[in-house]
Structure 1
Amino acid sequence: MCFLFLVQYFAQFQWLQYLVVIMALFAFIGSILNANRMPGILGLVMMGVGIGVELLKGTGFSGISEGIFLILPLLCLITLAPLLSIPLKIGGFFKSVSHLLHNLLSQPKKMYAGITGTLFFLSPILNLASVRIINEFLEDLKLPSALTAKSYVVGFATASMWSPYFASVSLMIHYLHISYEEFILYGLGFSILSLVIGNLLFALWERRHPFAGSSAAIVPLDKADRYQLIKLILFVACLMGVCLLVEELTNWSMIVIVCLLAVIVPLLFAVKRGNWKRMPPLLKDFRDRNVPLMSNEIVLFMSAGMLAFSLKGTTVMNGVSDLLAGLANQSFFLFAFALILIVLCITYIGIHQIAVIGALAMQLSVVDLGVSNLAVALILLLSWAISMSLSPFSGLNLLVSRFSRLSGRSVGLGANGLHSFVVAFISIAIISLIA
C-alpha cells in the first residue's frame, strides 16, 4: 500500500488512487482485528460516523475515497518511519545511549536532563518506539514513578512540534500549505523552550520532593561512547538537513520525502560491508513485530482522518470556525486559548488529535481569522503537544502510564499539568508577535 501510494504521488493515475484506497480499507480491517479493544471501538465509531456524514452530504464513494486518500500520506509516514531504527541498531547507538543514562543515575536533575535530552533526539525519527527503548534501558533501575512520568512525557512531546517524521508536523505542512523550511526554526525553538521549562520545573519540584539516586554501579562513559553520541546527533541533523534540501530542490510533499528517506537510508546502511547480513533479521522483526504493534495507530489515524475530512463544511464546524474567528478579531490570546481548550476537551474524552486538529486545519480560514498560516500552524501544534501530554487516552499517556505504574490522569494533569500550562502561556505570547 505504501509503495503504491508513492508511485501514485508521482504517476497521478486515478485508477491507482482507487486501488490504494481499497488497499487502505483492507489494512484498516486487518488492523481492527489486531488492535486493542478501546482503540478498535473508537476507530469503528469514528470511521462509521465519517462515512455516514459523507453519505448524508451526498458525496458517496467519491467523498469517502477522497477522505481516506487524504490521510494516506500520514498512514504511510507512521508505517515507514520506524525503518529508521534499523541504522541506529546497526550503528550501535543504543548501547552508548544506555551507558550515558546509567552514568547519570546518582544525580536526579542530570538524570532528568539526560532522559529528556535523549528523547529530544531519538523521538523525531523513532516516534513512540523511543520511549519503549529508553524504558528498556532503565527498567531494571526502578526509577521513581514521578521521574518516569515527567521525563518521558516532556522529552517525547517536544518532537511533535518540529519533526517532519511526526504526523502532527506533516499534517500542518500538508493542510496549511506552508513549507518545512519556513516552519522549522519556529518549531525547533518552541521544542527547546518546552525542554528548558521542563528541566527548570523539575529542578524546583525535586527540591520539595528529594529522592536518592540509584546505588547501581555507574557505567563509565568512555571515548567511544562519546563519539557514538556525537554521531547520533549528526545523524539526526543530517536527516533533517536532507529533508530541507530535497524540499527546496524538488517542491515534493514533505511527507513523501520523509517516506522515501525512511526506505532509502536503511538501504544505504546495508550497502556497507558486513551490514547486509544483519539486515534480514531486522527487516523480519519490523514486519512481524513493529507493523502489528502499529495496529492501534493505524486504526485511530485512518478513522480520525476520515472523520476530520467529513466534518469539513458541516454546520458544527462552521459554527466553531465562526466562534474562533470572532475571538481572533477581539484578541489573539482569546483565540489561541480557546483553540487549545477545544482540542484538549475533545481529546480528553478519547477522540484522536487528528480528528479535531485535522478538521480545524481544513476548516479554519486565515483570511477570516486575520492570522497568518504559520501562527495557526504553531497554535495547532501546541494544542497537539499539550493534548498528547494531558489526555489519558493518548498513545503517549497510555504507554507512560504502564511504565510509571500511574493512572492516565496522574501522568497527564498530575505530573505534567503545570508544565503544559507554562509552555502554553509563554508560547502563545511569543506566537502573538508573529500572528
Structure 2
Amino acid sequence: MRSYLILTMCGLFLIQYFVQLPWLENIVIVMTLAAFAGSASKANPMARWFGISMMAVGIAVELSKGTGLAGIRQGISMNLPLLTLVILVPLLSLPLKLGGYFEAIDTLLRRLKHQPRKLFAGITAVLFILGPILNLGSIRVVDEILKKHSLPPMMLAKSYLVGFSTTMLWSPYYASVALVLYYLHIPITEYMAYGIGLALLFVVMGNILFAFWAGRHLRHNDHPETAAAAEMEEDAAQDSGMYRKKLARLGLIVIGLMGITFLLEFATHWSMLVLVSLLALAFPLLWAVSTRGWSRLAPMLVSFRDHSVPFMNNEIVLFTSAGLLGIALQGTAFGNGLKTVLNGLAHQSFFLFALSVVAFIVVVTFIGVHPMATVTTLVTQMNAHDLGTTNIVLAMLLMLSWSISSTVSPVNPLNLLASRLSGTSGLEAGLRANGLHLLLVTGLGLLIITWIH
C-alpha cells in the first residue's frame, strides 16, 4: 500500500509541475508528509533520527520566523523534484536487464580476470557507465559476476569505490549532481564538461595507483584457474560473439539517454530533475513497444513496485526533511552566521575556504550524517557572488566533497555496500584500500577548483 502512495505522490508531482494547481499542490504536500511518516518507522536508526530531528527543527524555525504553514509547505516541496528522480530512476535499468546487457558485461570481465590491471580498468569503466542508471545496484551487478572468481578483497574494495565514486561528480541521474545543480540553478549542459572531466581524471588516477599496487601485492597464483581453463573460457567467449556488440550498444544507450536529457533541457527549459524522471518513465515503455516485450517488462514493473520502492525509506526521510531545514535556516541567525564565516574564509583564501568545506562535510559524514543533509544545509546558505566565485565552482566543490565523504565514511551506504561485498571492514575499504587515492584526488581536485575560481 505504501508503494502506491509513494508512486502516486511522484506522479501527481509531475502533473503539478506542468498544470500548477494550488489544490493539487496541497494534495502532493499531504501525500509527501504521509510518505515521510510511513518511511520514518522503517528507515535505519541513523536516518530516522536525523530525518525526524531535521523535520522538527525545520517546522519550529518556520513557525518562529512567522512564515507558518506557507513556509513549511515551501520547505516540504523543495526537494520533491529530487525525491521523485531518486525513486523513479531505477526504472531505467529494466530494459538493460531484459536486453541481455549484463551478460555481455559478464563476458567482458571473465575475459579480463587473469589480467589484474585490465580487469580493474574494466570494473571501474563498467561502474562509471552503469552507476548513473543502476545507482548502488551497479556494484551489486558487478559483484554478482566477480564473486565466483575469488579476487583479492582489497582489489575489490579499490575497484568498487574508485569506479562508483566518480558517478557523484558528473551524472545528472545521481542525487549529488541533481541536488547541487538544482539548488544552484545550473543547466546540466553548462556543468557537464567540468564534472565529467574531473571524473575521468580521477578514474585514470585510480587505475595508475592500482597498477603500482598490483605490481607489489598481486601474484599469478592469486588467480587459481589454470591457463588451459582460461583459454577454454576465452574461446567460448569469442564463440559467443555478440558481447562486443552488446557492450557497444550499451554505451550508445547511455550516451543517447544523456544526449536526450541535454537536448530536452535546452529546448524546453524544464527542470532537469523533471526531465530525468519523465525519461525514467518513458524509456521502459518505449522499449516494450519497440521490442513487443510487454510480457517480460510487466513482472519487472511489479518487482520494482513491490521491492524497490518500499526500500526507499532512508531517501524519503532524509530528502524531505533536509529540504525543509535548508529553507528554514535562510534568514535566521544561524544561517546568517554560517554565511559570514564562509564568506570570510573565501575572501581570506579561497583554497582555505574550499578545504574547510571538504573537511567539514567529510567529518560530519564520517560520524553518520548523510552528505545530502550537510550539502543541502550549506548550499542553501551559499551565494557565489558573495563568496567572490561562480556557481560552477561551488558545484564542483560540493560534489567533490560528497564523493570523498561517501567513500571514506564507514557508515555511508556506498562504503557499507563496498566493504560488505569485498569482505573488508568499512575503515579498510575507505582508508586502507583507498586512502592514498582519496588524498590525491582531494588535493588535485581542490587545486583544479581553485584554479578555475
Aligned partner of 1:235 in structure 2 is 253
Residue 11 in structure 1 maps to residue 24 in structure 2: no
Displacement after TM superposition at 1:292 (Å): 1.9
8 Å contact kept, 1:34–1:292: no
Residue 96 in structure 1 maps to residue 114 in structure 2: no
1:433 and 1:328 map into 2 onto residues whose CA distance is 14
Displacement after TM superposition at 1:262 (Å): 0.2
2:70 counterpart (62, 77, 97)? 62
Question: Which has the higher mean CA deviation after the structures are superposed, 266-275 or 298-307?
Answer: 298-307
Aligned partner of 1:74 in structure 2 is 82
Displacement after TM superposition at 1:13 (Å): 1.4
Q: How does 1:95-244 map to 2 (within 5 A)?
A: 95-211=103-219, 212-216=221-225, 217-218=229-230, 219-220=233-234, 221-222=237-238, 223-244=241-262
Query: Structure 2 regions of 5+ residues with no counterpart?
Result: 1-8
Residues 277-304 of structure 1 show CA distances to partners (whole Å, capped at 9, x for unaligned) of: 1011110111111112222222232233
Amino acid at match of 1:100: L
SS in 1 for 2:113: coil
Aligned partner of 2:436 in structure 1 is 418
Amino acid at match of 1:88: L
1:406 and 1:18 map into 2 onto residues whose CA distance is 47
1:278 and 1:153 map into 2 onto residues whose CA distance is 33
- TM-score, normalised via structure 1 length: 0.96
2:357 and 2:407 map into 1 onto residues whose CA distance is 16
Aligned partner of 2:382 in structure 1 is 364
1:269 counterpart (287, 293, 300)? 287
2:325 and 2:266 map into 1 onto residues whose CA distance is 32
2:139 and 2:358 map into 1 onto residues whose CA distance is 25
Change (3 A) 1:45 1:411: farther
Question: Which has the higher mean CA deviation after the structures are superposed, 209-218 or 328-337?
Answer: 209-218
Residue 330 in structure 1 maps to residue 348 in structure 2: yes
Q: How does 1:28-43 map to 2 (within 5 A)?
A: 28-43=36-51
Aligned partner of 1:291 in structure 2 is 309
Q: Where in structure 1 do 4 or more consecutive aligned residues deviate above 6 Å? A: none
Aligned partner of 2:427 in structure 1 is 409
Residue 342 in structure 1 maps to residue 360 in structure 2: yes
Residue 311 in structure 1 maps to residue 329 in structure 2: yes
Amino acid at match of 2:328: S
1:208 and 1:167 map into 2 onto residues whose CA distance is 37
Residues 254-297 of structure 1 show CA distances to partners (whole Å, capped at 9, x for unaligned) of: 00010000000110000024411101111011111111222222
Question: Which has the higher mean CA deviation after the structures are superposed, 2-11 or 131-140?
Answer: 131-140
Amino acid at match of 1:325: N
